Chains A and B, each alone.
Chain A
Amino acid sequence: MKQIIVDGLKYRYPGAETLALHDVSFEISKGELIGVIGRNLSGKSTLCQSFVGLVPHFYRGAYGGKVIIDGIEVKKSTIREMSRIVGMVFQNPFTQISGSKETVYEEVAFGLENIGVRRSEMIERVEQALEMMDMERYKDRSPFDLSGGQMQRLAIASMIAMKPQVIVLDEPTSQLDPQGAEDVFQAVERLSHEGWTVIVVEHKLEKIAQYADKVLLLDGGRRVDFEIPSKVFSRGDLEKHGVTAPVYTRVCRALDCRMKDSDVYPVTLDAACEVLKKCP
């Protein structure tokens, strides 16, 4: 049984004329790392918010189709209930800080206090989450005294302390420097290795190519493709959908050097190097 089932999802924001999501369907198995790509306004963020119930419960608006996570239909549930199953990290690390806590340690505990986790368990979970995100050494700092990358890792730690089943990250690295982005991506990969289902929206396609099991390509609120990275990035019409393939793929495409025994191009540095060395 699939962990996430999206079936014919349609959505229109209140007051909008066009659909933000248009008949989107796909399924995700437990433990998969999914990259969501597409131009701005292609529906990526809206899709993310539909997992945790912000769409439709926070925004309202017109909604059709189904999103089912762990057997629970989002539309018939509440944000409160969904946030126990789905953890979400937003684009701007600054706005995710509760603003009411004085230290990183307390900040991670914030959500656990809200949902009434016992003290002893809370401490255990906070420490675990800080360790996983490599944030222990900042535990006594003010959350506002962190760099963007550290803040974003704090946001992820705060979310995983809540022990969700599915983790959704909406452009988590768009405001970070390369080192910060790399740190966040390694953290994301660690989560995936620990068995979490991870969905990440990202413009840095080299990263998606490197880490994702599958890529969902959206354009104009519609699903264009949902496949392994090399297949999606080998599409000839990628630029028409507002996306540039990773540099490695573009080089191989220009020379028409494909992966061995297949019709797709390599998408990572190592794969491209191997293919190009053998390519005539």
Chain B
Amino acid sequence: MSLIQVKNLSFSYDKKRPVLADITLDLDGRSTAIVGQNGAGKTTFVKLLKGLLKPDFGEIHIGKTSVKEATVASLARKVGLVFQNPDEQIFKGTVRDEVMFGALNLGQDKETAETRAREALERVGLGHLSETNPQDLSLSEKKRVSIASVVAMDPEIIIFDEPTIAQDHAGKEQIKHLIRGLQEQNKLVMTIIHDMDFVAECFERTLVFNEGKLLMDGLTRDVFSRQDVLHQAHLEPPSVTQLGKKLGFAETFLTVKELVSGLRNGGNR
């Protein structure tokens, strides 16, 4: 089922140099990673999906709603976007109030919002910090607070911008777990991300952006098997994929587990 339809989307900030040129794609329920160099147009793309920017040409439909005609605040019900820098949104005195803010904006009553906030904080592993002042948290905790504040709004589509920044091993595991949980709830999870190892482990589908164009759109495994495409987009395949290739395997490995069993079975070398 198609959740987002993008047709011939083009955009430029100054009406001269296009930042995005003629993007057409359909997004369904599969978790999707958006990769590409800085300046490839990834952030602009998700801002357009969210209605924060208006396209020069083309159409975006979220379900039946045309993004052009909806206000940002009304789209907030359907599409949640977690910004890269949590410092650019956090302003409340406690973590719980911060996480409730979005839910309250959507018109939920205080009780529901509180319950949702509590659940969302549990899901990012910060349940014990709900009474803390967010300004006393580390960057990685703040980042997870900002994630929870969007999860608490319970949108159908959640878009992350670099969720793994500043996260250590435990933080990454927590986010991985959250993403899987959201998928099980049948939400569309998308992310802009630079961490290819993380993409390989968590996302079914990958969009490669390069210089404002959609260079490739496919299953993550297929994308990472295309050295030529990755090279053109100045990206490196995940470490595990690189090792598999270097060992002479024809297939593309995405996880340590896959490669290990490939090696055990002798594989296709």
Contacts and interface: CB of A to CB of B under 8 A. Distances in A.
Q: A and B touching (C-beta < 8 Å)? A: yes
B242 A40 contact: no
Nearest to B87: A92
Taking residues whose C-beta sits less than 8 angstroms from the other chain, chain A's interface range is 20 to 34
Interface stretch (B45-53, B60-68, B165-173): B165-173
Interface string B221-247: 000000000000011101110110011
Interface stretch (A26-34, A112-120, A192-200, A246-254): A246-254
A18 to B, nearest CB: 15
A206 B197 CA distance: 11
B256 A251 contact: yes
Contacts of B17: none
A244 B169 contact: yes
Interface stretch (B18-26, B94-102, B207-215, B259-267): B259-267
B256 A148 contact: no
Interface in B156-204: 165-171, 194, 196-197
B263 A174 contact: no
B220 to A, nearest CB: 16
A100 interface: no
Interface residues of B, number: 30
B133 interface: no
A187 interface: no
B93 interface: no
A262 interface: no
Given A174-B166, A178-B236, A273 B37 contact: no
Contacts of A178: 194, 196, 235-236
B166 to A, nearest CB: 6
Interface of B: 37-39, 138, 140, 165-171, 194, 196-197, 234-236, 238-240, 242-243, 246-247, 256, 259-260, 263-264
Given A177-B38, A255-B263, 6 more contacts: A39-B170, A40-B167, A246-B239, A251-B259, A255-B264, A273-B246
